[in-house]
Amino acid sequence: MQAIFVPDDLAEQFRLMADKTGKTLEQCVHFGLEWFLEEVESRLDTDHSDALYKEFQQSGEPGIPWQQVKSKINATHGL
C-alpha cells in the first residue's frame, strides 16, 4: 500500500464519483489510476509507432503491398 498526496479539488472529484457510482473512494481512485496508466501507455505506444513509421518513411525503403503480405500469411497458415 502506498500513500500519496491528492489535492483537495481532485479528492473532491473522487468523492463525488464515489457518491454517484456507489463505489468506495478506494475503488474510484484505483479505477482512475488504472485508467490513467493505460492511457499513458497507449500514448507512448502511439508515439513509438509514429516515430518508427517516420523512420521508415525517411529510409526510402519501399513498403510491401498488403495484398502480398496477406497472401503470404494465408499460404503460411493454410487460409
Q: What is the pLDDT of residues 6-51, one digit of tens each?
A: 999 999 999 999 999 999 999 999 999 999 999 999 999 999 999 9
Question: Is residue 1 one of the residues assigned to a domain?
Answer: no
Contact in structure between 23 and 17 (CB atoms under 8 Å): yes
pTM greater than the 0.85 cutoff:
no
Contact in structure between 14 and 32 (CB atoms under 8 Å): yes
Residue owning grid cell 500469411: 73
Which pLDDT score, from 0 to 100, does residue 1 have?
A: 81
Which pLDDT score, from 0 to 100, does residue 2 have?
A: 87
Rounded to an integer, what distance in angstroms lies between the CA atom of residue 52 and that of residue 61?
13
The tally of domains found in the chain comes to 1
Rounded to an integer, what distance in angstroms lies between the CA atom of residue 49 and that of residue 42?
11
Domain, as residue range, for 20: 8-76
Rounded to an integer, what distance in angstroms lies between the CA atom of residue 14 and that of residue 8?
10
